[in-house]
Amino acid sequence: MFFLTPRHRKEAKIVLRAARKLLRYRSDILPERQIIGLREGITRLKVALRQESREDIEQSTAKLHELFDQASPRPPLAGLRENTEVILVALVIALGVRAYFLQPFKIPTGSMQPTLYGVTGTRTADPPPSWPVRAAQFLLMGRTYIDVAAERDDTVIGLREVNRFHFFTSTEIVTRNRTYRVPAPADVVRRDFKIKPGGTVRAGQPIVRGYADTGDQLFVDKVSYNFVRPKLGDVFVFRTTGIRLIESTIPPGMGSQYYIKRLAGTGGDKLRIDPPNLYINGQIPGLSVFQRVMSCRDGYAGYSNPQGDGQSRVILGSPADEYRVPPRNYFALGDNSYNSRDSRYFGPVPEENVVGRGLVVYWPFIGRWGLIR
């Protein structure tokens, strides 16, 4: 068997096959002297293999390898070309997987808490821990420590969110005298670290001290919905294309956004919310994912009737209101109902907007890592 063959014989057979292949494919363009040399080298190696002398085999292998290299020299920058080809093939495969099978997605907000978390910030009085602790917590928990102190007494003028490479989001805190950068989204800086225009800062004191936990990052299954229809209780991702009340709030040039919610109604279903309960076709749904939200335990607060803000559509605005989902549409609700901008505000999600089903949280490793329920 080949895996029991001594190494020198394996190498000899590999070189022998390569030399024979070279002669078959290039005998019409090789100089006569190289063809003769290769044939003699092949014969010499075959004889050495039959005689089973390790020294003769190794010498004949080396000689035939040398003749092979002379007849088929490596092109200039061959190593660079091979590495480039490998990278390009890997990139094409990755793009194909993303386009047709699995798409990475980062939870942007807290509308699905505590099932899935967006970026959250926590203020602390103590300075950040040592760098090994910070590195370990970033790897396992997605936690980034922030410690930005004011250089002088100053006043905050505004906050400006900066997105680099469509992945790294930070906030510039603009004061009267300078700008401070914080590695967290603007809404986290404003909501969790209490930084707002008009606030004052004191020289030497922290402007922002604490840590930000990254939003859950997950894979979206883009295959299943090609074979089965989305069903009640699924955590699903959809595009905002054509949903007018969402698109009207998106800055020009940003294009369609991706939202993630729980599917609470399909075409024809009649919905009603009487806090903390959700009613589908006149009954409280028995699915565990809805029961969990309505239990008002473990961080869940139940379903709520939305409050109008003068700009958004309000559906199911009171316990008496009912809503029937149009055909070929889905009703999306956040598990964090009191802090979720969902179909109660922007209406149903058209069937063609559905991207896929939330499958698994792949990072951070501590917390909600694993299959999504």
**Tens-digit pLDDT profile for residues 301-358:** 999 998 766 567 789 999 999 999 999 999 999 999 999 999 999 999 999 999 999 9
Q: What is the DSSP letter of 249?
A: T
pLDDT > 70: percent of the chain: 90
pLDDT at 315: 95
Give the predicted TM-score (pTM) of the model: 0.73
Neighbouring residues of 202: CB distance < 8 A, sequence distance ≥ 6? 150, 153
**Are 294 and 284 within 8 A, CB to CB?**
yes
pLDDT at 22: 84
More confident residue, 256 or 29: 29
pLDDT at 45: 85
Q: What are the start-end ranges of the H helices in the chain? A: 7-26, 32-51, 54-71, 78-100, 131-141, 186-191, 244-247, 288-294, 343-346
| Coil vs helix vs strand at 214 | coil
pLDDT at 268: 96
- What digits encode the pLDDT tens for the residues 201-227? 999 999 999 999 988 999 999 999 989
pLDDT > 90: percent of the chain: 57
- Dihedrals phi, psi of 38, to nearest 5 degrees: -65, -40
Mean pLDDT within 103-119: 90
pLDDT at 364: 92
Own/partner pairs, 92-101, CB within 8 angstroms, 24+ separation? 99/222, 100/222, 100/223, 101/221, 101/222, 101/223
| Nearest Cα residue to 62 out of 73, 48, 74, 76 | 48
Q: Give the other-Cβ count within 10 Å of 113's Cβ.
A: 20
User: Over the range 318-350, which residues count as b (16 or more CB within 10 Å of their CB) and which as e?
Assistant: eeeeebebeeebbbbbbbbbeebbbbbbbbbbb
What CA–CA distance (Å, rounded) separates 233 from 339?
19
More confident residue, 164 or 287: 287
- What digits encode the pLDDT tens for the residues 67-79? 888 877 766 655 6
Residue 235 has pLDDT above 80, yes or no: yes
> What pLDDT band is residue 162 in, cutting at 50, 70 and 90?
confident
User: Helices (H) and strands (E) in the chain — how many of each?
Assistant: 9, 18
Prior bond to 114 cis, omega within 30? yes
pLDDT at 290: 97
pLDDT at 78: 57
> What pLDDT band is residue 165 in, cutting at 50, 70 and 90?
low
Residue 3 has pLDDT above 60, yes or no: no
